[in-house]
Amino acid sequence: MKRVPPPHPHPSRPAFVLPRNACDTHVHVYGPAARFPLDPARAYDPPDAPIERLEALHRLLGVDRAVLVQATVHGTDNSAMLDAIARAPRRYRGVALVEDDVSPRRLEQLHEQGVRGVRYNFMPHLGQSADTDKVRAVAERIAPLGWHVQLHVTAAHLGALRGFLESLPVPFVIDHMGRTMVADGLDQQPLADLLDVLRHPRAWLKISGPERISAALSRQDRPYADAAPFVRRMLDVAPDRIVWGTDWPHPNVREVPDDGKLVDLLPLYSDDPAALDRVLVDNPRRLYGYD
């Protein structure tokens, strides 16, 4: 089984100062496996990345709030994520993986435990893609709770999924900028498709994972800065429906980034401090139901 490296051992303190109540909307916790066993059907084998290590990172970065996204390595057993949320329920929210037949009562219990969305995978390297009919059925069950559907999907596949996305009765959130690769340029069709989908009033986007789409590696002075023109295009289309995340501890990446350097990319994404405040504070407050 593929092993993935641990998080960056010595992340730097960013120069950019995050605003109060800034939210990192995309992080995972792994294990510890001795307490929270990994799913035997997982696609990769991660080292432990427990909540204590994430808390230390966020203190360094100046992050006040975070959304814990259930990792596929734990399958639909959300115990590790829920345990982490329970440590600081005013700071943390969750996005769960659930069974197709999940009951309304179970969804209500997850809501009480801080969950605000469900995630589905359309990435072949992580297993079989989700069944859109089953996703829609779950979306109907979560609609009364005010939740959303989060989608791990590439922009190249959005054209084929557009009818399905627009039929969902809840907001839908696209992960990691839709994996629009910088090397393919700003005129690439997948980026045009992503921006077109993003114009839908229920569409949201996470500007996470610049290290996944960058044409450069971290040896440059400002790592992954070539992703900034792509983010600017996205912010032009939907400034009130974009959120930011680190993707810590960075599974399945070419190299594990320094999270401090990821924070320092934020001023490259917009010249307007108020726009960054929306992305970091106001938009996640609405999407994840913070008080």
The pTM of the full predicted model, rounded to 2 decimals, is 0.96
Rounded to whole angstroms, the Cα distance separating 198 from 241 reads: 8
Residue where the block lists tokens 């069974």: 99
Establish whether 247 is a catalytic residue: yes
CA 52 to each of CA 32, 57, 218, 291: distance values in angstroms, whole numbers, following the listed order = 10, 9, 26, 24
Q: Which of 64, 193, 247, 258 is catalytic?
A: 247
Q: How many helices (H) and strands (E) does the chain have?
A: 12, 10
Of 125, 182, 133, 188, which is closest to residue 152 (Cα–Cα)?
Answer: 125
- All domains of the chain in start order, with CATH: 2-288 (3.20.20.140)
Block residue for tokens 């916790």: 29
Q: What pLDDT tens digit does each residue of the chain (291 aa) get?
A: 788 899 999 999 999 999 999 999 999 999 999 999 999 989 899 999 999 999 999 999 999 999 999 989 999 999 999 999 999 999 999 999 999 999 999 999 999 999 999 999 988 655 567 899 999 999 999 999 999 999 999 999 999 999 999 999 999 999 999 999 999 999 999 999 999 999 999 999 999 999 999 998 766 667 899 999 999 999 999 999 999 999 999 998 989 999 999 999 999 999 999 999 999 999 999 999 997
- Packing angle, helices 158-167 and 189-198, rounded to 10: 10
